[in-house]
Amino acid sequence: MRLIALSTCITSIILSSASFAQTPTSHQFINDAILPPIQAWQGKSEALLVSHDHPWVTPFEQQGYITSPDYAHTMQWLDKLVSRSANLQKVSIGKSPQGRDIWMIIASKDGAASPQQLNKNNKATVLVQAGIHSGEIDGKDAGMMLLRDMAFGTKQSLLDNVNLLFIPIFSVDGHERSTEYNRVNQRGPVNMGWRTTATNLNLNRDYAKADAPEMQHLIHVINQWQPDLYIDVHVTDGIDYQYDVTFGYNVEQGYSPSIFNWLENTYRPQVESALTENDHIPGKLIFANDNADMSQGLSYWNPSPRYSNGYGDARHLPTILIENHSLKPFKQRVLGTYVMLEQTLKTVASHADTLTAAIKQDQQRLSPQITLTWQNEPQSNWDFKGIDYRIEKSEISGADVVRWDGRSKLYAALPVTGNTKADIQVQRPKAYYIPAQWAAVIDKLTLHGIEISTLTTPVNIRAEQYQFEQPQFGQADYESRQTVTAKLNASLIDITVPAGTVKVSTAQSLGDLVILLLEPQAEDSLFYWGFFNTIFTRTEYIEDYAVEPLAVKMLAENPSLKAEFALALQDKDFAQNSEARLRWFYERSPYYDTQYQVYPVLREIN
């Protein structure tokens, strides 16, 4: 069964009672025929749905649970709800590249409309964001239902001890690039938005570098509104399994172990219990090591700060990544999300004190050693509620392909690997010093809410300085940037840092994030993302006719240099390379560029 686009079939946000809600079937979406068999589902959470003639029926409910409204109809419905409820306010967090407002709904008992007003009620605040990948829009429709029930239904008491910030559509431009042919592996809604922004950036790769205007707006929200817990709602890709709602967060070995313990021991049990009671099947965030061979086990993910939950780990903001299962019908996924969001508000309200304590513990930890990269290591085995499959030889590709058969299968004690073993580590510096000319870097730190200061007088410091060699640039642009990695050597120097230099202390609540952004070897450092790539550009040279007599003079005046050159000549490749031999002298001459491949950021040591 196929429906026409929502934008042409909805004439008003609250449809007349003559409209009818279509009964879902197992063949509702254009891609059903090419997807694995579907498992029939009915659950207690269906009681959350209202009838098509309810005065606050959402477009999702009105249209048979298989469509999601476009941007205009979403905001039209929300505007009407907000205008009638004293507990709801709406603010724009900024404009998208195509000029659309990114709206946020503030839900609080006292109708707060600003961060200052919200802070006065002394309640914990939950930030929920839908549509970072706007084809994965379950959170929007679930959030609309929940707001309706908190404003005029049976859930008004949810706001007694907690506040909710709700961004219904984060990637608003991608949301409007909507057709029924997006996300072929996902069962609904009928029309789905696009994965990336209007400039083709993936917002869930952008937290650390924050290139997209949308991401910059979101980080401003986090800094200004100071949520105590942040939820990022997605829909999966990948394998088939029984779970309909999976979710994950930072790992215990990471930068926020106290937050991990709260999420693992307080939050997860309560949310999983609520989902189970409503006939959903919750699970841990799941990735297969081999999508075609479940015996290879599962992957436990320690995300880097380019992702929402990795960024939350770095800045000590409890962050939950929801991944609803793409092969489950849209209705089931939306209802599962509703249950999870409702229970989140209940759990945060009931355990706000311990949540706040966990956040403060991690903010104040200031670990003397910080891990920059991680290696895989074995984890505890998992029992996995999977779907059975067979392997067939494809007549189309000639390769082996997986055929999921729709039958439930328990894969007992599957092996699990995860990137939780510390690899490259550094000692926590006292501070970093950034020359004023690196304004883009300084601006990025400020955007993240990191405290900086500018020297008004010169300062003498003992510091580490990095010198790079063998830079390796990405062969293709990645998320609009040319990434780079390099080997480095560190040397201790005593230096006078001039006035105007920016000092960034690591003794602050975002100190770990400072380190992960400014240490070149960190997985999502600003160095890796290309913010310093100009240091690898040679801009001054010496002609052969000048370096020849210079070399003769240098050898005559420096016997130790002469001995060093003789030793270098024992390398046959070097000895036979005239350019390398001349470059050898140039690099040791006073004419050489002393800033070439030198990291301009200094590490002040304790």
Q: What is the pLDDT of residues 24-49, one digit of tens each?
A: 444 689 999 999 999 899 999 999 99
Q: Are 246 and 286 in contact (CB under 8 A)?
A: yes
Dist CA 280 CA 39 (whole Å)? 13
Strand 502-505 and strand 431-434: pairing? antiparallel
Q: Two tokens at 49?
A: 């749905």
Whether the link from the prior residue into 559 is cis, omega within 30° of 0, is no
How many angstroms separate the CA atoms of 590 and 554, rounded?
11
H-helix segments, 263-329: 268-277, 308-315
Report pLDDT for 27: 61
* Nearest residue to 234 (alpha-carbon basis) of 308, 298, 125: 308
Instruction: Quick: pLDDT tens for 563-590.
Output: 999 999 999 999 999 999 998 999 899 9
CA atoms within 13 A of residue 424's CA, in its CB half-sphere: 11
End-to-end alpha carbon distance in the chain: 68
Side chain identity, residue 455:
L
Pair of tokens at residue 432: 């970093």
Pairing of β 425-427 and β 431-434:
unpaired
Nearest 5°: phi and psi at 385?
A: -85, 90
pTM of the shown model: 0.93
Q: How many residues does the chain have?
A: 606
What are the DSSP calls for 40-94, one per residue? Answer: P---GGGGG---TTSTT--HHHHTTTS----HHHHHHHHHHHHHH-TTEEEEEEE
Query: What pLDDT, on a 0 to 100 scale, did the predictor assign at position 325?
Result: 98
| β-bridge pairing 431-434 and 484-497 | unpaired
Rounded-to-integer distance, Cα 395 and Cα 198, Å: 37
- pLDDT beneath 70: ranges in the chain: 1-27
DSSP letter (8 states) at residue 599:
-
